[in-house]
Amino acid sequence: QQKVQQSPESLIVPEGGMASLNCTFSDRNSQYFWWYRQHSGEGPKALMSIFSNGDKKEGRFTAHLNKASLHVSLHIKDSQPSDSALYFCAAINNYAQGLTFGLGTRVSVFP
């Protein structure tokens, strides 16, 4: 059974600053990792995926994966108030049950 742990629980970031979110997973055979973002009152939406060791950059967002240390992270550069949301990392549990989600990190960006 895949277990996913996230830190920190919450993060306050000034507008224009960098937000860094961390995640560890338990299954060494995991291959696919996702970051989801959920704004208040909405369903979560996939933000980005990462499947290979190293960095993946999409605009202001960079994900980093290190399978050896069972660690994945997300960095948000030049944070905007619209980035204020709940962020989940996710790793596959099995192909029937789908993704296992972490407990989430609440990011608040203040102007």
Note the residues at the interface with other proteins (CB under 8 A): 32, 34, 41-46, 49, 51, 86, 88, 90, 92, 95-104, 106
**In angstroms, what is the minimal distance from the CB of 67 to other proteins?**
15
Give every CB contact of residue 72 below 8 A, 6+ residues apart in sequence.
22, 23, 24, 25, 33, 50, 63, 64, 65, 66, 89, 91
**In angstroms, what is the minimal distance from the CB of 18 to other proteins?**
23
Do the beta carbons of residue 24 and residue 105 sit within 8 Å? no
CB-nearer residue toward other proteins: 51 or 110: 51
Judge residue 63's burial from the number of C-beta atoms within 10 Å of its C-beta, 0-12 exposed, 13-18 middle, 19 or more buried.
Answer: buried
CB-nearer residue toward other proteins: 77 or 99: 99
**In angstroms, what is the minimal distance from the CB of 78 to other proteins?**
25
| DSSP single-letter state for residue 45 | E
CB-nearer residue toward other proteins: 77 or 86: 86
